[in-house]
Amino acid sequence: MGAGGKATLMKRLILEAQKSDSPILVTGTTNLHSFKNSTGLQTISGYEGIKVSQKDEKILWAKKKLPNDIFHGFSTREIDGIQEKVKKYLIIVKTDGARKRLIKVPNSTEPLIPKKTTHCVAIFNMQSIGQKASSELIHRFELCSQIAKLKKNNKIECSHLANLISYKNGYLSRMPKDSKKILYLSGCLKKDDLKNAEKICKSIEKIGYDMLIFGDTIEKKFFLYGE
């Protein structure tokens, strides 16, 4: 959930998971792309997935196929039902969309997280720091600007991102009580990005996340705050 790196992180998780012997199921409670077969997943839609899942395959399973290689996901209730049927699967679920923006906070109806989720990851992208605030960069600009105390064309600073992360109705508040709650600050490409990420982590370290991680998914560089 979040913005600025969900699809890339999902690919990384899929590739890492394929090193294990466990079958993998990738799906979503929102629309998702097929990853262009870069992960070696078998892509299926509809209830054909029930038959395929019984064979312990590595699959991307969605409710129906839409134009432009996009798939419509399942409801949270349906995914909880699927999990009951395929308990040995590692299930990776995309729970919201951000329309390719770098920053987002959820509205009152999202993210759509299955009740039986064990690990939740909220993503905020560090490449937003230093850029001018706009609706092209920020999903739900009016809501985010109000929370972050940010006006259009203002330069985005660490404090703005920290305000969004610690928003009382933000991603952390939506995660299932017993799940592992993880914050990932993505897009740390330079030393200044890493310094800014540590600064943000220090300012929000007590709000309730179990793990604070920053780094860059493509470069496969990840840092755990506090170590």
Strand order in the sheet with 24-28: 42-45, 58-62, 24-28, 90-94
Amino acid at 106: P
56 pLDDT above the threshold of 80: no
pLDDT class of 63 with cuts at 50, 70, 90: confident
Sequence-distant (6+) residues with CB within 8 A of 227 are: none
Beta bridge partners of 43: 60
pLDDT tens column, 135-169: 999 999 999 999 999 999 999 999 999 999 999 99
Question: Which two structure tokens, joined as six digits, stand for 5?
Answer: 């790196």
What is the C-alpha to C-alpha distance for residues 29 and 79, in angstroms, rounded to an integer?
Answer: 8
C-alpha to C-alpha distance for 201 and 187, rounded to whole angstroms: 15
Q: In one letter, which amino acid is 129?
A: I
Question: For all residues of the chain together, what is the average pLDDT?
Answer: 91
pLDDT at residue 196 tops 90: yes
**Residue 102, number of CB atoms within 10 A of its CB:** 25
Q: How confident is the model at residue 50 (pLDDT cuts 50, 70, 90)?
A: low
pLDDT of residue 53: 64
Q: Which domains does the chain have, with CATH numbers?
A: 6-224 (3.40.50)
Structure-token match 């432009």, residue found: 68
Alpha-carbon dihedral of residues 83, 13, 74, 67, nearest 10 degrees?
Answer: -150
- Give the strand order in the sheet containing 180-186: 119-125, 180-186, 211-216, 221-224
* Tens digits of residue pLDDT in 78-125: 999 888 888 888 899 999 999 999 999 999 999 999 999 999 999 999
Q: Please, is 206 exposed, middle or buried when counting C-beta atoms within 10 Å of its C-beta (0-12, 13-18, 19+)?
A: exposed
- Which band of pLDDT confidence, cut at 50, 70 and 90, is reported for residue 207? very high
Are 132 and 112 within 8 A, CB to CB?
no
The pLDDT-based confidence of 37 (bands split at 50, 70, 90) is low
